[in-house]
Structure 1
Amino acid sequence: MGIYGIGVLGSVTDQQRLTLQATLRGMLDDFGLVIGTDVVVYDGASVNGRERRAAFAAAYFGGVPHTDLPAVRDLISTNSPIIPILDPPQDFTTNIPEILHASNGLRCRPDDPELEELACALLECVGLLRRQRRVFISYRRIESRAAAMQLHDLTAARGFDVFLDTHDIRPGDPFQDVLWHRLCDSDVVVMLDTPAYFDSRWTRQEIGRARAKDIQVLRVVWPGHTPSRLTDMAETIHLDADALSGPSGPIRDEVADKIVLAVEHLRSRSIASRYLSITGRLRADVEKIGAKIEGIGAHRAICVRLPDDQRIWAYPVVGIPTAEVFYDIADKARRAEQLGAPVIVYDHIGIRESWNAHLKWLDENIATVKAIKVSEAGWTLAAWES
């Protein structure tokens, strides 16, 4: 029946349905998930037969007359998220049924023909992508300050939490500690690759540590610049000579929009890569101590059978865990009817010491969910007690 479900309802055209499924298929490939097996896509006629314990979200395409209303009412009764979708000229109150007026919607964008923004929103709702949308801009101030500030504003307008060192480190904060903390919690690094970029040890470290954490890099290469082979594996956008308004930017509007859309495209690949890195390290440690992975459950929970026959459900977490993440994992485990306290598995490298102390306090004082560092998984699980 699948461990994830996605509904496509309302006045959706055949082309929109095919486009959305193709985009979802590409994103799900990064997670090793298959549409039809792991992820089931429903329409208005079939959605009531979905697996009720599976993570689920739906898109409702607006139109007149309103369609699939019985399915919408059923989804609302089970608190399933529904995203209203509109074409640019449509009016929300006319084309979206009143029962959905309390839900925030999305407008299809002319610069997003593949419906990537909608696909990402659906994967966020089912828990495959984080709801936090975080971008880190890496640049040399002396060469690309104006472009960096422009991209900060554009990506923020698309719903991203954007880190730019001149904007996001408070006076008195330890500069490098905060910078590495925010890098570790980012989905994509936008690298403004200017001629002197690698002359700075700080920018060299930013890219090196992003790669060490399996964070995808979007390289934006300045006109006439030959990029370093150190970043040849990065997704790349080359700027033409007329792409900049000045030596340090800003970037011409249509090119800047292309960069922001590329960030959206890279995000799912980056999160999938980081997730697979954590699960791979967890699997290796589990096998070292004679335990085994028994399978994958709802919400990507990993079932681990320990040598003494205890069974735990491990939840790999990408980025920096928070109290909200602890609550979300506990709620998911409850709805999936998993026995025992769920276990958050995370990578603590790069997280500020004060935040690691906070996570330790949460682990010691919240009984309904536990947390372990992936680098210590085998050591911790070898002495695990329910």
Structure 2
Amino acid sequence: MDLWLWIVIAVVLVAVVAGLVGNRVGASRRRRAGGAPAAPPVAEAPPSPESPSPTATAPQAPAVEPEVAEAEVAPELERPEPVAGRLVRLRGRLARSGSPLGARLLAVLSRDHLTEDDWDELEETLLLADVGAGPTGEIVEALRTRVRVEGVKDAAAVRELLRSELLAIVDPTLDRSLATERHPGPDGSEVPAVVLVVGVNGTGKTTTIGKLSRVLVAEGRSVVLGAADTFRAAAADQLETWGSRVGVPTVRSDRDGADPAAVAFDAVRRGRTEGVDVVVVDTAGRLQNKAGLMDELGKITRVITKEAPLTEVLLVLDATTGQNGLTQARVFGEVAGVTGIVLTKLDGTARGGIVVAVQRELGVPVKLVGLGEGPDDLAPFDPEAFVDGLLGD
């Protein structure tokens, strides 16, 4: 009996041990197969009134209406001053800058008895005003004759005498109008007027073109600018700034040193395609040797005229350079076929006689004058206002 008891106990123990071993082997196999024993369920705690529910998002700040980005507003275009108003200012500006010349001339002519020394002083005054030797001789000779014949003594009569002689030498009969009208091209279709602007650096050439665009806009013309001065990095930027103020587009190259003729051609083609009235082309202001200058301007002219003929070639000169500017005028006159002169900084000098000298040198009229730093300080040249300004009131 005891033996059977021990046998039963032994069998039970073996069964228990076998069960434990089997459980561990099964767990091991399940782990290797990627399984995991299921965790016993955990009772969820009831949500706290201060805690968000499991599906709720975190509380956010009150929604703010996003600001609507304001559309970029184009800057308001400037309204250039009417050209007629500039002519009124012309006389005053010249009077302030040129009156010493007129005052000295009138002082000499008003003397009771004019001696040779007086005539020499008169001649010297005119030469210092950059009238030039030839025109000065003509003026002095004409005045000698009239004073001797007419016996002029009264101050008002003397002034009128001098005025008439100066006006004659400035020559009011010259055509000073700008050719800025659309006209038939070689193929019969209408093309824009093309104005080529030349001159050396430092004369205010690019600024003058910007001011000229304002003159044209004030006259109701549509304009395109061509930045063919590709050798001066700031020239195109400067021109574009001037144009943008009055709604005038600028055609330019994306790189410095590009072919000036190609830029000029693109500007004229755009002007023709868009039906504008005037295309104004800036050129490099380098006074090279005559052959180099001729080649460059010649190429620009040839390329432009494939689209539209040139109507104006304006030479920009600095009035303060006096007789030195005549050398520049002579070279450009021979090379570029200049049709008109723009004198800048005329308000900064009392030597207004350069108007006479440069007209005589080139045989072409002064058409525009710069009278200050303001954007609308470019005016059509008026011979009578100019002479009255020189003589003062």
Query: Which has the larger share of strand?
Result: 1
Q: Which has the larger radius of gyration?
A: 2
Same fold (TM over 0.5): no
Query: Which has the larger share of helix?
Result: 2
TM-score, normalised to structure 1, is 0.23
TM-score, normalised to structure 2, is 0.23
Flag the structure with more relative contact order, 1 or 2, with Cα contacts below 8 A and sequence separation at least 6: 2
